[in-house]
Structure 1
């Protein structure tokens, strides 16, 4: 007999059908996941929905309070309503009973009895062909033929979600659960516009874990949503209230996690605690560097990490850089507490900082070679770990020096992925530096980096001041590398001041300094901007020749990011020469390169430049959406380069032309279409090759009438660059449903790629 549901089953719109499907094709299905994720509710819901398929019976066995595995057969017999008739072979009675029956056995909470449950399941399945077993466990049973389903958290609102109305927010499973449970204890609660931001934040912070959300909802008896959110940093104290009569593990978040912790052996517990110094995700090599010592030997790491993955403490979370792992924040907080209690917290945090420092040093070295793409992606993957290491340096006495060296080594990361954050972190570290010669060696590097990043933000006064201070300090210290970068930053400042002769002198000097120190990426950057200054001085051919010579060198070494930077300057020189076709070709080449780097500075600059070329071609529609896309790309990254040379004037000229040609309303519509597109979608549209499937063809215009309103909505989201997964999240539908819509759109339009759909949509809305 299945226990009655005391509260409605909510959510799991995607998982519930999938589990039912898997149960139809598998004799043993195990739902895995961390405690509180909803394995039991999903299993019971599945059993209720499928009970008619099992005329022989459906039996539920809760093993949470059972500690002796030898009593498993007896416990199953009792659940089936059978007497314990055997004293020698306790599996005999259920085997006899199940013979010839088509039944479903639900074994709940198997994690602390895995071996016993595996033995019992194997015995029963072999003895009864009509039996199926649905198990829940924090780790698989490990049987041949076992089908494993990892139960994910409930869907949570994407960030930012401030503008989503209540009816849209309520479609997220976590929000729906919270509202339902909150109204059960506080009937006056309603999700309105004022409460939406706090409810969305709560569900995100609790990571869609049903138990945590239900425990938070109980607090609505005495607290507002805003008060609950404010206390979530201490969630293990906050979420400790529940209902009498429930399993104690399900009424306290602490107890739920402690249950998992107590099931581990000592080395697994040690690894769990030490892994909590990682923020975001990590890979195997990082775990070994940070977590291993005499107490946890490196040769033990792989098996211990595998054990934590098996037990749903650690989650495999691959990305473009390879196999990575992560941990739910609730489990991380618990493990961090245990690490603090062990007295190892500061030691392991220091090792994490050292590992980040070594990674940054390797990245700086690799940036001069063909590894730029690898390091760009790798550092982006480690973004949260970089933040954690810098925070350690800021909050630990005498560590700001090492933090500033770490930040300076990471200059490629800041420039490509995090201009605003990089400047903020560097300036915090500069402010935290002590006095002394050792601090000055770090300060000189931080100053030129802060000035450089300020330039990308359009803060030219800070660029100038930081550059001057860094160069003076570099000369006093005899630091040639810092002198080169400080001089380069001052050269950029001079370009923005339109003092081109001074800019020429400074950038030439910086280039020579980089030559002496052997810093190829620095030399390539100084060369690019020097070529741009030559163009501003009217020496365009000389600038082109300078660019060409260095572009070839970058290409030989595989330094693609530097190559794209030089091509960007070269494209502008070609524009000044009046060769619009060549300038366009170069800008498209840069955009293609930046599919790998996703550098908003370079992408935004290319879009700006393309809008200027479209102005020359009298293509007002393209000018408007390109300007919108450029503004969005730079704006989201906190970048402003319109003070560079004459770029501001070119931008204003393009805006004025498009507004006058289109009219204010049409201009604003086209501009906003560009602003809504992601950089990836924008690049896809620009690089898409015209085909017969594009909307100018009569056949496609006829087919567009067949698109349903939902398909038109999804076509617009494709244009914005959303993946099928993101489309599903935005519209609160299953990913498989989104995939079906996309396939039908492609078929109806006669398109073969998402880029063609994007091009069709943009042309349709512009016409």
Structure 2
């Protein structure tokens, strides 16, 4: 016996780690199953791995896809092994007799529609034939004892692009995409989920279409990718039939859940599935069992996330399910249920933002953004859902402002307020959040228009909550445009109104910090410190850390003016650490500006210039540097003047360029580490140094890049941040 593995006719790309993992598994286990969605490359990988092993009696491929009758599985295996027997013995007995003393590898491919019969045979063969190993490739595991399962993921972008280019060159000799074509190829690979079958089918279309034209037609991927080759299995001749093969193997309840899961965008968790997808033929108590079956069949993939176990469908698989959902006439109802779940999630997150779970909320919203976007899109494109879209866009203020997504928030809020909603309170909320976001972006005219409209309408309708928020935001606008007396008056008015109506949340606390800034800029430093100490106490009582960062910023500035340099640095480093945790670029860059001033005063003008370069790069991602404000720009101007004087213009500019070349995460990490030129951040103060504020966690040294996004939207201004309530 020598084997029957087919020779490779086309180049094999990537999969280096998968090949190594498969070889390692086959060295220690006698049954290894490669699983994955249709067309992902399971068969090709299995055959290549088998060819590399070369057991004494060969590697033998058994293709079970054409077999329909479970009773014929044993005959198919015997035929693939070229075993002939004309006696009346059962085929299984023939296999046991012939394989008992041999050392060979059996590659069983395409068994998923015959899983019970295949598993029974494989189990007995392995038990009775000690020299046998089995490598199976299918859309689900065999589920027998001793099985090692290796899920095969789609190809990464670079390997997918190489595969696509190679197959395209077979159709168009010399094909080597560059420029716009290269970008289109990369986007094609992403949109097709890195599925080799889909990429090969798409490459075949380049006989008639350019990469850009192919990309433009990809929304109808199942019709487009139907260029069959004669040398492939029928189930792989088009993308539709490849995915449809999995669909045929599903039970009615599994098909129903597959269709309903198509309303999710990006990862989702079990609780969301149980709420959105249950009912009308699928009881909530049965959802987990059915989901596990879809996982077993590689229709759904499991993944770990910072918020726990989540599930994901490839876009191609989701698109197939969406067609079935539309065909069943149930798409609109399921999208409303999806919207309801994520509306509730956003409301819960808004309320929980003012709690010890604030960081957890930020992480959860990051994971749920694709589904929140889908819910917003659904609401804002259906006239009957407009008011819910306005409410959702406003409710997510903490995401836009607190988690560094101002530009995206502006997109949704602009769309929301352009629409007329049946519920005025929802539109008012969207208006005052829009005004706030526009202020933070330095877009003062639209901010003023939105806030004035909100204030006028709130007074007309008697909405005390919206009126208070409008006044507060107008106070923020005055603060960043250097009108400190007006800022003080408006902020005091808003805080009084918040107390009257019973508001206590991050917004109220931020209003106090903003009032403290207005007072400090007018010379009332003692009153500013008193306000921020109160904010710090409330934050520590409630576990709030986002607003705390800005109280520490003001307290650090105040400590510096009193000559308490060690305390000032500890406070502002802690502020920067918190801002970095929340991806708050605007809060972070203001803290870096203060730390640069502290550093030049401590005698290290070169490092101060580097930090100013770090700040310059951050401001480019945030907006108008220092709001164009003389008050907020004071520390920067003083630091620059002193550093230039000590270094000279040429060296100062050189050091600034050093900082500006650092990636944002690395620049922030440098600012967190630097103390008096050498001492890393996070150590305890030495003898004679002031310690951090009571109750403030010790600063942890940040890694150079871990957790630091290279390019993120600005979070919020430390002078203009606040929160909305669920009202």
Compute the TM-score of the two structures, normalised by the length of structure 1: 0.84
Note the C-alpha offset of 1:583.
2.4
| Aligned pair partner of 1:466 in 450, 454, 458 | 450
Where does residue 267 of structure 1 map in the other structure? Answer: 253
Distance (Å, rounded) in 2 between the aligned partners of 1:690 and 1:429: 49
Distance (Å, rounded) in 1 between the aligned partners of 2:180 and 2:328: 43
* Matched-pair contact (CA < 8 Å) for 1:371–1:558: yes
Where does residue 126 of structure 2 map in the other structure? Answer: 125
Report the secondary structure of 1:136's partner residue.
strand
Where does residue 136 of structure 1 map in the other structure? Answer: 137
Query: Does 1:422 pair with 2:409?
Result: yes
1:247-326 matches, cutoff 5 A: 247-326=233-312
1:104–1:375 Cα change, 3 Å: same
Where does residue 322 of structure 2 map in the other structure? Answer: 336
Where does residue 764 of structure 1 map in the other structure? Answer: none
Distance (Å, rounded) in 1 between the aligned partners of 2:12 and 2:191: 22
* Matched-pair contact (CA < 8 Å) for 1:185–1:218: yes
* Matched-pair contact (CA < 8 Å) for 2:350–2:398: yes
Note the C-alpha offset of 1:155.
1.4
Query: Does 1:348 pair with 2:334?
Result: yes
1:483-632 matches, cutoff 5 A: 483-520=467-504, 521-594=506-579, 596-632=581-617
State the Cα deviation string for residues 492-529 of structure 1 (Å, max 9, x = none). Answer: 11112211111111111111222233332221010010
Where does residue 6 of structure 1 map in the other structure? Answer: 9
Report the secondary structure of 2:383's partner residue.
coil
Query: Does 1:187 pair with 2:156?
Result: no
* Matched-pair contact (CA < 8 Å) for 1:28–1:145: yes
Report the secondary structure of 1:642's partner residue.
helix
1:456–1:333 Cα change, 3 Å: same
* Matched-pair contact (CA < 8 Å) for 1:367–1:375: yes
Where does residue 93 of structure 2 map in the other structure? Answer: 92
1:340–1:410 Cα change, 3 Å: same
How many positions carry a matched residue from both structures?
A: 682
Query: Does 1:39 pair with 2:25?
Result: no
Distance (Å, rounded) in 2 between the aligned partners of 1:271 and 1:637: 43
Where does residue 83 of structure 2 map in the other structure? Answer: 82
Distance (Å, rounded) in 1 between the aligned partners of 2:115 and 2:609: 63
Distance (Å, rounded) in 2 between the aligned partners of 1:222 and 1:659: 62
1:603–1:691 Cα change, 3 Å: closer
Where does residue 408 of structure 1 map in the other structure? Answer: 394
Report the secondary structure of 1:318's partner residue.
strand
Query: Does 1:442 pair with 2:426?
Result: yes
Gaps of 5+ in 1: 157-171, 695-717, 728-767
Note the C-alpha offset of 1:558.
0.6
Distance (Å, rounded) in 2 between the aligned partners of 1:264 and 1:670: 62
Where does residue 684 of structure 2 map in the other structure? Answer: none
Distance (Å, rounded) in 2 between the aligned partners of 1:310 and 1:518: 52
Deviates more, 1:663-672 or 1:486-495: 663-672
Report the secondary structure of 2:494's partner residue.
helix
1:642–1:153 Cα change, 3 Å: same
Query: Does 1:65 pair with 2:50?
Result: no
| Aligned pair partner of 2:33 in 19, 30, 43 | 30
Deviates more, 1:636-645 or 1:103-112: 636-645
Report the secondary structure of 1:134's partner residue.
strand
Deviates more, 1:76-85 or 1:563-572: 563-572
State the Cα deviation string for residues 314-337 of structure 1 (Å, max 9, x = none). Answer: 111221111111111111111111
Note the C-alpha offset of 1:545.
1.2
Note the C-alpha offset of 1:18.
1.6
* Matched-pair contact (CA < 8 Å) for 1:642–1:651: no
Distance (Å, rounded) in 2 between the aligned partners of 1:105 and 1:392: 50
Note the C-alpha offset of 1:194.
4.7
Deviates more, 1:672-681 or 1:377-386: 672-681
CA RMSD of aligned residues (A): 2.5
1:376–1:519 Cα change, 3 Å: farther
Report the secondary structure of 2:156's partner residue.
coil
* Matched-pair contact (CA < 8 Å) for 2:666–2:704: no
1:127–1:269 Cα change, 3 Å: same
Note the C-alpha offset of 1:231.
1.7
Distance (Å, rounded) in 1 between the aligned partners of 2:630 and 2:115: 69
State the Cα deviation string for residues 344-377 of structure 1 (Å, max 9, x = none). Answer: 1000101111111111111122122222122111
Where does residue 222 of structure 2 map in the other structure? Answer: 236
Where does residue 344 of structure 2 map in the other structure? Answer: 358
Of structures 1 and 2, the one scoring higher in RCO (CA 8 A, sep 6+) is 2
Where does residue 698 of structure 2 map in the other structure? Answer: none
Note the C-alpha offset of 1:603.
2.3
Distance (Å, rounded) in 2 between the aligned partners of 1:640 and 1:486: 25
* Matched-pair contact (CA < 8 Å) for 1:401–1:439: yes
1:178–1:347 Cα change, 3 Å: same
1:719–1:363 Cα change, 3 Å: closer
* Matched-pair contact (CA < 8 Å) for 1:457–1:640: no
Where does residue 699 of structure 2 map in the other structure? Answer: none
* Matched-pair contact (CA < 8 Å) for 1:315–1:325: yes
State the Cα deviation string for residues 631-657 of structure 1 (Å, max 9, x = none). Answer: 444544668653356223544554566
Where does residue 162 of structure 2 map in the other structure? Answer: 176
Compute the TM-score of the two structures, normalised by the length of structure 2: 0.89
Distance (Å, rounded) in 1 between the aligned partners of 2:205 and 2:651: 49
Note the C-alpha offset of 1:601.
2.9
Deviates more, 1:661-670 or 1:419-428: 661-670
* Matched-pair contact (CA < 8 Å) for 2:607–2:677: no
State the Cα deviation string for residues 508-563 of structure 1 (Å, max 9, x = none). Answer: 11112222333322210100101111100100111011100121111011112222
State the Cα deviation string for residues 53-80 of structure 1 (Å, max 9, x = none). Answer: x112210011111111111111000011
* Matched-pair contact (CA < 8 Å) for 1:419–1:639: no
